[in-house]
Structure 1
Amino acid sequence: MADIRRFLDSEYALKRDRAIYEAERRKRDVFEKIPELSRIETEITLTGVRYARSLISDADSANAISEYLEKMGRLNAEKEAILSKHNIPVNYLEPRFSCTICEDKGYISKDGASVPCSCYQKLYLEQLYKVSNLVDDEGTGFEFFDESFYSVTPDKKKYFTEISPRAQILAVKEQCLEFIDNFADNASHNLYFYGPTGTGKTFMAKSIGIEILKAGFTVLYLSATTLFPIIQQYRLNIDRDGVSSEQAYKNLITVNLLILDDLGTEPGSDSKYAELLSLLELRKAQGKNNIARTIISSNLDFKRLFQEYNERIASRIIGEFQALQFAGEDIRILKKLKR
């Protein structure tokens, strides 16, 4: 994930160099056809250098400094007149930067500090989406949340909760929004979503991920069945699709928000349990100095969590994750029936 900024910095350097190179190429072509412009350009450059030196020199008077400015003004006017005479735009010889604000540097000066330009922030967010596994996930996001799919009728025997599924999901949503608002707070908890299939756990986890991405944090969404092969490839030092297994494993540890979906659907083994516990411990250590939150979704309530996983993993999740119960009917089935 940290490679994103290095990648963008490199891309901006290439863009800027390309724009400057193309401008120099245009200059050579024009100067070859109109030698007078080359002479004027050289004079402008030399006068500019003298002007800059005069600003830091005590030897030059205010009149001399003013003369340099006037001369540059005359030379630029002469240059523009020649360009216009030959039907050449006055900015034809200048670099054509894709961003006129930062001139393809990626950063601008603000209040004496160097800060990312808006164009850089936009590209950074796009890159975050690409590596998050949330890209092109249509229909996901809090703007698509529809409480009408949740019953207003309480049924403890059916839903294992005292309140109605709708009241339950609205309470869950509020907790999720609070998680987003306090994401950078060191006291913020991880989240454990549990409940039957189709009750909105994945939707809610991904919706949180989208909001965290918008805030400029790194997010990685994985299903449990995808997680363990990544860890195994790292242990065996197997690179896939040009991606370093070491970097892929490092991302699991350092990403600001790791979303682990469908825990309990993967084939279980003692080695996998040990790897999961190790990952949770590494992320906990990472969280001491950096933001490293985790969201886990599962069909397993705490009782079944102890049955399916060893006690250390279950205890870790219970102790360090805020549990949010999802209840209701399978929304995917309800949507099909509604069509």
Structure 2
Amino acid sequence: MITTGCDRRGPDGEQVDPREKIVIKFSHVVAEDTPKGQAARRFARLVEERTGGRVEVQVFPNSVLYKDGEELDALQKGAVQIIAPTTSKLSSLAPQWQLLDLPYLFENEEQVHKALDGELGKKLFATLEPYNIYPLAFWDNGFKQITNSKRPVVHPEDFKGLTFRVMINSKVLEEQFHSLGADTIQMPFSDVYDALSKGQVDGQENTVSNIYSQRFYETQPYLTVSNHGYMGYVVLINKKFWFSLPSDIRKVIEETMAEVTLWEREQAAKLNRKNFEKIKSSGEVKIHIQTPSERDEWQAVFAHLYQQFRSVIGNELIEEALRTKRTLP
């Protein structure tokens, strides 16, 4: 959004007058004290400082403006200028993004960063070109864990008869739980706490920082630390708006985003560790940490997903991810 009396508007593809004040709406769906929430605020502050107030980034957390099922449409239409959805949400535009939902695709953040900062990330970004979206960065959330209200889930058969919330737009995530004998319900992130507290679903998968900040652990007495899947975000800006900005403003945004991205990744790791200790100390949750042999059991159940979705995701992308994984410990 451009705040000015002039008729020329950035989102319409016209060049923004360098003298105009530029207001950027940054909408996201998680709490302010999560890695994404903290990074969005830091980015906003630094951009305003470094542009001498010419750019104001207004951050709207916790689905205040749009739910995660609405964000992409709002971005494409120019109702907001920046969003940072989970990678799974992009599957509604490009099914190749379901690659990152494959269980046990990566084993640690180092593998993730090498892949997404390299050729794999470029290829995924390229799938968004037709949709009036310009990608700015990959941000971390962390690795996902399993919570539920019924019983410990240690072995694959423990999932049978349970119902799990899954993120919208990803068939891989649905089939992941179906492989374990569980049922699934797709649901926006903002609805999950109510669904858990009312027993509409038995459990969910998420990072520790989300489990803690959204208070999921208060309704979920069982937590399995499985690290079975990576959850990350893609920071996206409306493409027409982006190329309407003066070049010096784009440079500040790009440089600041690169700096904040490194900071965000460090914060994500720290916050997940810190929040895990808080959940432990709450005394409300029985925690099981997956052993290597249990991991092997889960991986055996999930192995068919790589073949099942190869034609949807693309053989080239899957092999690129696996090559990256093999080159790092």
TM-score by length of 2: 0.27
RCO greater where, 1 or 2, for CA within 8 Å and sep 6 or more? 2
Identify, as 1 or 2, the structure richer in strand. 2
- Larger radius of gyration between Structure 1 and Structure 2: 1
